[in-house]
Structure 1
Amino acid sequence: MDLDRWTGGLASRLGDMVEDVTGVFREPVVRLGVTGLSRAGKTVFITSLVANLLERGRMPQLRAAAEGRILAAFLQPQPDPTIPRFAFEDHLDSLSGPNPTWPQSTRSISTLRLSLRIAPSGLFSGLAGTGAVHIDIVDYPGEWLLDLPLMSQSFAEWSATALAAARSPARESHAAAWLAEADATDSGRALTETTARKLAATFTAYLSTARLAGLSSVAPGRFLMPGDLEGSPALTFSPLLPPDRAGSDSLWRAFEARFEAYKRVVVEPFFRNHFARLDRQVVLVDALGAIADGPRAVDDLRTAMAEILSCYRPGARSWLAPILGRKIDKILFCATKADHLHHSQHPQLAAFTEALVREARDRAQFSGATTGALSIASVRATVEQTVERDGRTFDLVRGRSLDTGEEIALFPGKLPADPAELLAAARQGAGTWLDAGYANTRFAPPRLKGGEGLPHIRLDRAAEFLIGDRLR
């Protein structure tokens, strides 16, 4: 088994090496990974990024666009025929129709290749002809990243960690039914499929309830997105209390084998075939949603982000990367839905996001990667408004409610200048914010006038960070 894994990894790296070496003589390809946990807005981000690169009137902060050096942009056929194509046209129709709606969220991996015809810059630009840069966008659920830390854990270690987390104040109410079953189960007794299915079902229900409550750490991720593995033994297990003695036919040994099968069949192929081949990464964070859900949701998001970012192998680009394993050399953290705040609070939102991922970001920078943090709105759904009431001034945002279709104005609460105020309460396990409250609402996409592109906030700055250096 270890030999198979080693040779599979070697074959993948050799394939990358061949592709990169031949890429010197062909047009360069940048593999951009887009991920984020539930509600972060991955599908909208990719749709708006591609739409605004095809029509670049709203991209002044992308230097190559501002200088007029992007001569053409067009979508190419699928770069990998084994991966579903990102349904860009369908998602764009949803956002730009007469009654716009948000597209369906990411449920599985997909890709899209956008090609840009570039005029070179620099001192000798007049002597060089135009060239093309291909951007391969890889869209995958952030929940799948939560599975990668499982690779370094045994079933016993994972069970102990998962049970301890389920008994925490943030989760115990959601996990009560599953914990009662797990506590009453003798994991040393002989396996029965009835018991296995019941434990797996209540464990999955706990993960689903926790995610709906705004919690972020919900591994194993495929339990909530099973696809064609639904009902298979690879998804029919749960953490267990260790037995005094475990025979070969015991529930413990069976779940241990299924846990290892999950890593082998689900986690390893994703890492080897997709994640390990990325060059650049954008991580989308629904920071406002977590803040509105309370301190425990913020602390859970902080923990989940640390778990996710520990999986990256960041580092400076090198021609040895295909041999040693490709390294991500740029990571951008984006707090999405900045249009739910007045622009005067966008710096506080970006600062909170930076503080949320600071430990992992520092580790990435130490390894040689360039990192950044922005507050963005992939599609701007609101306009700003300032009102005075009782001698006080309030900065609001106004838009259409997704639930009622009516125009509403929102003051979501004032974020503190120092993000430590929020993170300290989160780390201390506070049930609510002591001195403030934060509201969250769902705005509908804007109704666009004829000929208008998708409006956004700082999407052009995000593009400049992620690919600007490859367009020169």
Structure 2
Amino acid sequence: MRQLMRSVMNPVRRATDAGSAQFAQWFMQSTHRFTITGLSRSGKSMLFTSLMTILKYRSEQHYQCLPLLRYLPMDLVEKLWIEPLGDLPEFPVDAHLQALENGQWPPATESVAGFQLIVRLRQTHQVKKYLLPFTDVVFEFIDYPGEWLTDLPMLDKTYTQWSDSAWAQQMNEPQSQFAGTWHKWVNAFDFEQPPTPDNIAGLVNAYREYLLTAKAAGISMLQPGSFLIPGSGFDWQEFGFTPLPSRISSDQSSPWTQRFAHHFGLFQTQWLQTLKQNTFRETDKQIILVDLFEGLNHSKSHLYQLRETLSNLSHTFVYGNPGWLQRHLLKQRKIAKVAFVATKSDLLPASEHDNLLALLKDVTRGATAQLNDDVQFEHFLVSAIQATDAGSTAQALRYVNQQGRYIEATFEPLPDSLKAMPADEHYPALPAGVPNDYLARMLNGNGLDRLLQYLLEE
């Protein structure tokens, strides 16, 4: 029998020994390409830091984290390593861990970074073990500023279409609370002046001040977000543009409309198209991170705009469910599985998690309505680090504040839908600081095992 097995298996083993990269990709690797989509402040960087740290400790230290993750059984993990992802800079996990060590949360992402996380699993089945001694599970991750994400829908618009929509948004809540100074500036501006570099710079700088003010106040739908961070590859100081009142933007003979339409076209071709091709690569599975606390901390209108933003972003990605043949032979990539994730769930008592999950489903309702029937989606609550402890009551939490004091906070019931949230109320976000035992708390982050389990299921 053993001789028979050798005669059957040896030709195949010789194919692998000959260095057939295609054979390895088809049969010895399980590649999971993740797009982790998140707006600014949604927790992408902290999630990446936790994932890399947890999987490293699970593999090298055999730490019993991710207890529900059956698809990466710890006793079968032979080794784990990280490789560069193409020519992208590596994710700065060491710098982020140093920030935590210094009592600071990791800084906001201002440039793109990527990595491949490879987990090698030993085979247990005798036939598979003889033919394929191991399986590599390959995770591909890309981190990028959330401001870039909100700019992608601009690819499908003309300048006038974008200008009119941006202006209309500024006239409504919640942007109207912060756009007053910018609108006064525009109304006083003399558009009979030619669009000289100095005149353009005056408009662009005034508009950028509005964007910065609105961003600081938790506004999610701001375009162009790429104007706000230094990591953008577009020279907004030389080729900047702003939305204009419709009396100007609708006049195709206006030198201002013509100049801004030209700059808008450069923004699309020189920045957004390249950004979409290189950073927002074709992928299989998508994690959409949603920070509900930013909206809850401000107003009901902030959450309504978050719902609108997520709905608009769903047009940016290609969804579907290609089969094995299409994925592996024809190299077709569509997003077949989506996880909507409310981050920082440790900032609420466990008694309020059902309401938080219901609110997440309500806020993502517009996005899920646009998914194809063959696209799977689920909703999850996740904390990349368990920064709080249970309080003295079911509605309380204990935490270390920014000054290093260990205190307790009591919470009011959370609304389970946008409709249930009073228009004039807001729910302050817990200002938790970095605990001294951050590493142990990171390794015990909640919900990551369920999230990975869902994404790894075929």
TM-score by length of 1: 0.83
Q: Contact 1:73–1:116 at 8 Å: present in 2 too? A: yes
**Is 2:115 aligned against 1:112?**
yes
**Residue in structure 1 matching 2:278, options 267, 273, 276:** 273
Match for residue 287 of structure 2? 282
Tell me the CA shift for residue 320 of structure 1: 3.4
Match for residue 16 of structure 2? none
Q: Which amino acid aligns with 2:52?
A: V
Match for residue 142 of structure 1? 146
In structure 2, what is the Cα distance between the partners aligned to 1:281 and 1:165?
A: 28
In structure 2, what is the Cα distance between the partners aligned to 1:444 and 1:314?
A: 38
Tell me the CA shift for residue 105 of structure 1: 1.3
Match for residue 16 of structure 1? none
Q: Which amino acid aligns with 2:391?
A: Q
Q: Which amino acid aligns with 2:119?
A: L
Deviations 1:388-426, CA, capped at 9 Å, x for gaps: xxxxxx521111112x2211212232113x425347x6x
Match for residue 357 of structure 2? 350
Deviations 1:258-278, CA, capped at 9 Å, x for gaps: 011111111111112231422
Tell me the CA shift for residue 152 of structure 1: 1.4
Tell me the CA shift for residue 279 of structure 1: 2.2
Which deviates further from its counterpart, 279-288 or 118-127? 118-127
The 5-angstrom pairing of residues 181-200 of structure 1 reads 181-185=185-189, 187=191, 189-200=193-204
**Residue in structure 1 matching 2:161, options 157, 164, 189:** 157
The 5-angstrom pairing of residues 422-461 of structure 1 reads 422=420, 430=423, 432-433=424-425, 437-448=426-437, 454-461=443-450
**Residue in structure 1 matching 2:69, options 62, 82, 94:** 62
Tell me the CA shift for residue 59 of structure 1: 0.6
Match for residue 5 of structure 1? none
Match for residue 89 of structure 1? 94
**Residue in structure 2 matching 1:379, options 385, 389, 392:** 385
**Is 2:77 aligned against 1:73?**
no
SS in 1 for 2:269: helix
In structure 2, what is the Cα distance between the partners aligned to 1:142 and 1:422?
A: 28
Q: Contact 1:64–1:70 at 8 Å: present in 2 too? A: no
**Residue in structure 2 matching 1:369, options 360, 364, 375:** 375
In structure 1, what is the Cα distance between the partners aligned to 2:94 and 2:457?
A: 25
Deviations 1:202-241, CA, capped at 9 Å, x for gaps: 111111111111111011120112435345433x110112
In structure 2, what is the Cα distance between the partners aligned to 1:231 and 1:163?
A: 19
Match for residue 135 of structure 2? 131
Deviations 1:114-166, CA, capped at 9 Å, x for gaps: 11011347796555421212211111222212112111111111111111111
Q: Contact 2:66–2:448 at 8 Å: present in 1 too? A: yes
Tell me the CA shift for residue 252 of structure 1: 1.2
**Is 2:106 aligned against 1:103?**
yes
In structure 1, what is the Cα distance between the partners aligned to 2:392 and 2:172?
A: 41
Flag the structure with larger Rg: 2
In structure 1, what is the Cα distance between the partners aligned to 2:22 and 2:346?
A: 39
Match for residue 330 of structure 1? 337
Match for residue 3 of structure 1? none
Q: Which amino acid aligns with 2:410?
A: F
Match for residue 175 of structure 1? 179
Match for residue 37 of structure 1? 39
Match for residue 253 of structure 1? 258
Q: Percent identity?
A: 26
SS in 2 for 1:58: coil
Closer, same or farther: CA 119–187 of 1 in aligned 2, 3 Å:
farther
Match for residue 419 of structure 1? 417
Q: Which amino acid aligns with 1:68?
A: D
Q: Contact 1:31–1:278 at 8 Å: present in 2 too? A: yes
Q: Contact 1:31–1:138 at 8 Å: present in 2 too? A: no
Q: Which amino acid aligns with 2:154?
A: L
Deviations 1:425-468, CA, capped at 9 Å, x for gaps: 6xxxx3x13xxx52212211222288786331111111112235
Match for residue 320 of structure 1? 326
Q: Contact 1:412–1:439 at 8 Å: present in 2 too? A: no
**Is 2:227 aligned against 1:223?**
yes
In structure 1, what is the Cα distance between the partners aligned to 2:354 and 2:35?
A: 25
Closer, same or farther: CA 330–187 of 1 in aligned 2, 3 Å:
farther
Closer, same or farther: CA 89–226 of 1 in aligned 2, 3 Å:
closer
In structure 2, what is the Cα distance between the partners aligned to 1:64 and 1:463?
A: 9
Q: Contact 1:147–1:221 at 8 Å: present in 2 too? A: yes
The root-mean-square deviation of aligned C-alpha atoms, in Å, is 2.6
Closer, same or farther: CA 438–451 of 1 in aligned 2, 3 Å:
closer
Q: Which amino acid aligns with 1:371?
A: F
Closer, same or farther: CA 100–467 of 1 in aligned 2, 3 Å:
farther
Deviations 1:347-404, CA, capped at 9 Å, x for gaps: 21112111111221132242x22211111110110101133xxxxxx521111112x2
In structure 1, what is the Cα distance between the partners aligned to 2:162 and 2:191?
A: 15
SS in 2 for 1:44: helix
Closer, same or farther: CA 365–68 of 1 in aligned 2, 3 Å:
farther
Unaligned runs of 5+ in 1: 1-18, 388-393
Q: Which amino acid aligns with 2:387?
A: A
Q: Which amino acid aligns with 1:207?
A: L
